[in-house]
Amino acid sequence: DVKVTQSSRYLVKRTGEKVFLECVQDMDHENMFWYRQDPGLGLRLIYFSYDVKMKEKGDIPEGYSVSREKKERFSLILESASTNQTSMYLCASSLTSGPEGGELFFGEGSRLTVL
């Protein structure tokens, strides 16, 4: 089974702190994604990566950055956390970018609260 592991399930941070959310997948998938999930808004794509050291902005990249130094690891960084970044963050991976093998496998999520 594909496993996508998000290291922190629950975090509480203060405004202005730098926050790292880590995600590791164990199936040699090419693509990795970071989404945030908010009530009434569904999942929104923050950043994604098709290869090591490669990143592309999603729909809501403002206030976030990412790092992919190794194929299996994709990190989401909040340089200076703000209260409007309180949310559930979901990491996902997929084998390919097409319909065959393009299924997203999600981690269990990291719930971030910024005070």
Partner 1 sequence: QKEVEQDPGPLSVPEGAIVSLNCTYSNSAFQYFMWYRQYSRKGPELLMYTYSSGNKEDGRFTAQVDKSSKYISLFIRDSQPSDSATYLCAMSDSGGYNKLIFGAGTRLAVHP
Site of interaction with partner 1 (CB under 8 A): 4, 31, 33, 39-45, 48, 58, 90, 92, 94, 97-99, 102-109
Query: In b/e form, how buried is each residue of 24-55, taking b as 16+ CB within 10 angstroms?
Result: bbeeebbbbbbbbeeeeeebebbbbbeeeeeb
When the beta carbons of 17 and 43 are compared against partner 1, the nearer one is 43
Q: How far is the CB of 80 from partner 1 (least distance, A)?
A: 27
Residue 15 or 97: the one with the smaller Cβ distance to partner 1 is 97
Burial class (CB in 10 A: 0-12, 13-18, 19+), 104: middle
CB 47 within 8 A of CB 64: yes
Minimum distance, C-beta of residue 115 to partner 1, in the bound complex (Å): 22
CB of 107 to partner 1, least distance (A): 5
Nearer to partner 1, 6 or 75 (CB): 6
